[in-house]
Amino acid sequence: MATVLDGIIGGVREDLAVRRAITSTAALQARLTEVPPALDPMPGIRHADGVAVIAEVKRSSPSKGALAAIPAPGDLARAYADGGAAAISVLTEQRRFGGSLADLDTVRTAVAVPLLRKDFIIDGYQVTEARAHGADLVLLIVAALGDAQLRDLYDQATGLGMTCLVEVHDAAELDRALALEPRLVGVNARNLKTLEVDPRRVTDLLPRVPAHVVAVAESGVTGPADVAAYVEAGAGAVLVGEALVKHGDPAEAIRSFTAAAAAVTRTTSGAARA
């Protein structure tokens, strides 16, 4: 039986074929010479106070439908940067998330913080495409890729100077991700086959992520308390979309997340010294 993930990837393949017919790989590669080198997100993520927030430009989702119109993605991105976001994630999948590469271009022009192209990457063309449009990071979803394909895409992205956020949903996927020796591993509370969200998926897996790898908690964040719970379980970063795009003051929301995380960090440090 086909899953939600299968359906999304089917649409991604169709849309990819259209873009490839319009813009050749050679044309994309030529564009690479015109973009500045990729930014390294790790210093900002590792040195964030309490937790690094990766703030997402996200119009809709398969589970919730329309979230926010976001007529000016650049303005939203600037608000995220003002709030202290360590990186900004831009959805570029069109059918289910209402995103586009044009959004990525707009956000790239608006802010100087590292940008993640958030999409269902299944082909090397998309990796080249991401860098050509100014992305500094790409998402690789372990559940959507075989081991050889995962390795090839990872090597291609890092060869272009980008950082990979390697996303997992269970222990077996985490083992596959760690074989890549990544710097960032995302643990998603959302089951991509059913779209069910269970924060325990994150809190159970976070302790298994090695200390030298930054663990990014994804999905299930509705407010500061959720961020604090993830940080207490071992998250070094959180990726948040819906709670920010629906908030009246996204910059203040980010500050509230980092404050809650910093409080957990101080409490943990104090207990360790005691």
Q: Is 64 designated active site?
A: no
| Lookup: tokens for 184 | 């960032």
**89 in catalytic set:** no
C-alpha torsion angle, residues 190, 191, 194, 199 (rounded to 10): -50
Q: Which one of the listed residues 58, 93, 129, 191 is annotated catalytic?
A: 58
Residue 219 among the catalytic residues: yes
Check if 167 is active-site: yes
H or E element: which one contains 14?
A: helix 4-22
Catalytic residue among 93, 129, 173, 218, which? 218
Could you say which of 93, 118, 129, 242 is catalytic?
118
> 191 catalytic, yes or no?
no
Residue 138 tokens read as 């790409």
* Count of beta carbons in the 10 Å neighbourhood of residue 228: 22
The helix/strand/coil state of 177 is helix
At 67, list the tokens.
Answer: 């979230």
Instruction: Given the residues 93, 167, 173, 242, select the one marked as catalytic.
Output: 167
Question: How big is the CA angle at 47 (ends 110 and 248), to the nearest 5 degrees?
Answer: 45
Distance between CA atoms of 48 and 55, rounded to whole angstroms?
14
Q: Which residues are catalytic?
A: 56, 58, 118, 167, 188, 218-219
